[in-house]
Structure 1
Amino acid sequence: YNLYQNLLFYGVKDGRNEDEDFQFIPLIIEKVIIPKLTNIIAHIYDPLSLKQTTNLVKTIENIFQTYPTMTDDSKNVQNLLKAIVDRLQRSLDDDIYIPLYPKEIIALGSSRTSSNNSAIMATEFFFRQYWTCVKLLGNITLWSQILSLKTILDLSIDGLLNRYILVSLKNMDLISNEMITRCLLLAKCFPIKQWFDNNKTILQNQLTDTTLPALENFCLFLKQLAQEYSTQIFSANDKDKKIYKENIRQIRVIFVHLHALDHALELTNEYEIK
């Protein structure tokens, strides 16, 4: 109450100095706006909403850029950052579930000629949950300018990619055309350039030709995928051969995006990609 009373009569206050005037707006942001945002994130924000995530991230980034005094030395800022992490973690715990169906069920349910309604319904649910994971992954990485890299990696890669998404991908048809599309969309969730640009001191050992250690499991899966495509080339017709070769090229594109230049070079040499 005293804060709001002071704000109400600030303009007629006697004995103000320039320092007080300079700190006036940042103080309001820290004491009023930041706690309000903290409450919104803790009780209203839905991490699965791209619109909500984008708006919140832009708002908080704008505050931090406009008012440099908003640092993690502030108790209110600490509470805000903690609320973000807690809300994202709660979404991981409460909103994410992918059933581990046998590959045969996924294949049967994905077949356009399948008449097995149970398999079709199970497969639809499986893919719906998979894309929910990918959506949350993309929303989590949008917080990369606000949260620490370690926190982002823990939530997005350890919490989603390695725990759920890669397991799900391995249960799908590896040589389908949809698989390479899924991998491309998944890779786009990771703002690799931003991570490297903002964390050069931390990532100095990765600034040569390797990706983040946390992404190596994804890279290994992509190498396995390239091997599957290569195996299919020998028995495929000319049309499918072109598709498989193009898919291998797309895997190289993903490696380059992930800053896994060592894997990209290895792929180029092994499969003689132009």
Structure 2
Amino acid sequence: MSSDEELALTEVTEFQKSKDNVLEESKKIFEDVRADCCDIRKILLKFQERKEKFPDSYCDAYIGFCLPKLLNPLVRVQLINWSPLENSTDLKEMPWFRAVEGFSDAKKSSESKRDDDPDEEVLPRVIEKTILPKITGILRLVLSTLRTITQLCDNVFEKQVLSRRECSQAKQDLINTVVLRMKQSVEEDVFIPLYPKRYACSVSPLLQLLSKVLLWDETVQEDTVRGVGLSKLLNRCLLLNLFNTPPGPENIEKCKEVVACFPERWFQNLGSGSTLPESVNFCQCECVAISTCFCNSDETEEVVLLLVKVKALRIAEELTEECKREHLKSVIRK
């Protein structure tokens, strides 16, 4: 955070005071409600008992579809002080999550004649109406930084149990917000020096951001992930660093870390010996580094293996010919 973004001590104190007041007031929300009517575990226990005694009438009453509406207000109260970007309690460790998860996973009564069980969707539906909107709101207000994207992936989205419905509005809103923040993180927060040879830019934060962006593959549309991760981050930022790193083992290690970030499925159905269009410059960068200084060394084989992994077979063959390492062609043809 830069100096012009830092909050004054008085502002921090005032914010904390307001936050404490909100938390204190939230304790009064259910003060006039019986304990067994605002305790999620006790509520679900009653429905579970009903389901076991009268399974068919329970299903005919569509209880599983109504429960999320009953539970959502209770869950939102428990989430008032929860933030995925802070050191809050892990979502799966929260009492309400355990209670709803246990209810959703409970075995169906053998007396029920139904194959599908709407109760299995209670937890995903609660998450869609409580967790996802809260995360979306946080991301819209919090500055888009490497830390934001990293913690979001680690603490929230990878651990979510989402509904079988592929495209709920809450999920789509979250994905759209994440995509916007990822683009801003790459375009605004990644520093690209005007004179790169005079400025040693650390590659570690860039690799970390690349890894986190590509984790969204299969959740966010592939074209979007490739556009942000490869076209913008790899080709505009990381390649600049690699081009200005002296050829050698350090450079190759960086290339290995880059390739390790790529989803393998992107390269499974590529034909004609060509890699992804967005990774061509990266592959050529590897070849230039090897052919310039290490044409007859073991590093050549390491680079060829990397090129084969990303299906840049033509580039790999050209490198073996230029470096006169004909025995490596057998590796390419496998």
Q: Same fold (TM over 0.5)?
A: yes
Matched, 1:266 2:330: no
In the other structure, the counterpart of 2:261 is 189
Cα deviation digits, residues 19-52 of structure 1 (max 9, x gap) = 6361544432221222123234444585447455
Determine which structure has greater relative contact order: mean sequence separation of CA pairs < 8 Å that are 6+ residues apart, divided by chain length: 1
Task: Give 1:210's aligned residue.
Answer: 274
Q: 1:97 aligns with which of 185, 191, 216?
A: 191
Residue 110 of structure 1 corresponds to which residue in structure 2? none
1:127 paired with 2:201, answer: yes
The superposition leaves residues 129-176 of structure 1 with CA deviations (integer Å, 9 ceiling, x where unpaired) of x33222211111111131111011111111111112212322332x33
Query: Equivalent residue for 1:257?
Result: 309
CA contact (8 A) 1:47 1:53 kept: no
Match for 1:17 among 30, 50, 62?
62
**What is the CA distance between 1:88 and its match in structure 2?**
1.0
Preserved CA contact (<8 Å) 2:140 2:177? yes
In 2: Cα distance, 1:86 partner to 1:186 partner: 23
Q: Is this contact kept in 1: 2:196–2:244, CA < 8 A?
A: yes
Distance 1:273 1:54 in 2: 44
Gaps of 5+ in 2: 1-32, 51-57, 67-117, 328-334
- 1:36 and 2:134 matched: yes
- Mapped pair 1:159 → 2:221: no
For residues 51 and 157 of structure 1, the distance between their equivalents in structure 2, rounded to whole angstroms, comes to: 21
Deviations 1:212-258 (A, max 9, x none): 1111111121222222025xx6xxxxxxxxxx511111111210221
SS in 2 for 1:209: coil
The 1:24/1:46 distance shift into structure 2, 3 A limit, reads same
Higher share in helix: 1
Which residue number in structure 1 is paired with residue 23 of structure 2? Answer: none
Pairwise CA distance, 1:195: 2.8
Q: Aligned partners of 2:125 and 2:196: how far apart in 1?
A: 57
The superposition leaves residues 33-77 of structure 1 with CA deviations (integer Å, 9 ceiling, x where unpaired) of 2212323444458544745523334224xx24xx312x22x2111
* Partner AA of 1:68 in structure 2: R
Matches within 5 A, 1:63-78: 63-64=161-162, 67-69=163-165, 71-72=166-167, 74-78=168-172
1:180 corresponds in structure 2 to 252
Number of the residue aligned with 2:154: 54
* Paired residue secondary structure (1:245): coil
* TM-score (norm: length of structure 2): 0.57
Instruction: Tell me the equivalent position of 1:108.
Output: none
When the two structures are superposed, what TM-score results if normalisation uses the length of structure 1? 0.68
Structure 1 Cα separation of the partners of residues 326 and 257 of structure 2: 22
Provide the rounded CA distance (Å) in 2 between the counterparts of 1:89 and 1:141. Answer: 13
Q: 1:189 to 1:26 in 2, by over 3 A?
A: closer
2:285 paired residue among 217, 221, 236: 221
CA RMSD of aligned residues (A): 3.3
After the TM superposition, which of the residue ranges 40-49 and 7-16 deviates more from structure 2?
7-16
Aligned pair partner of 2:177 in 54, 63, 83 = 83
Alpha-carbon distance in structure 2 between the residues aligned to 1:273 and 1:94: 45
Instruction: Report how many residues are paired.
Output: 223
Q: Is the 1:100–1:168 contact (alpha carbons within 8 Å) kept by the matching residues of 2?
A: no
Cα distance in 1 between the residues matched to 2:175 and 2:255? 31
The separation in 2 between residues aligned to 1:16 and 1:100, in whole angstroms, is: 67
How far does the alpha carbon of each residue in 1:87-130 deviate from its partner, in whole angstroms, 9 at most, with x for none?
A: 21121133200313363x4xxxxxxxxxxxxxxxxx4xx233x3
Question: Residue 175 of structure 2 aligns to which amino acid in structure 1?
Answer: L
Query: 1:207: Cα distance to partner?
Result: 4.1
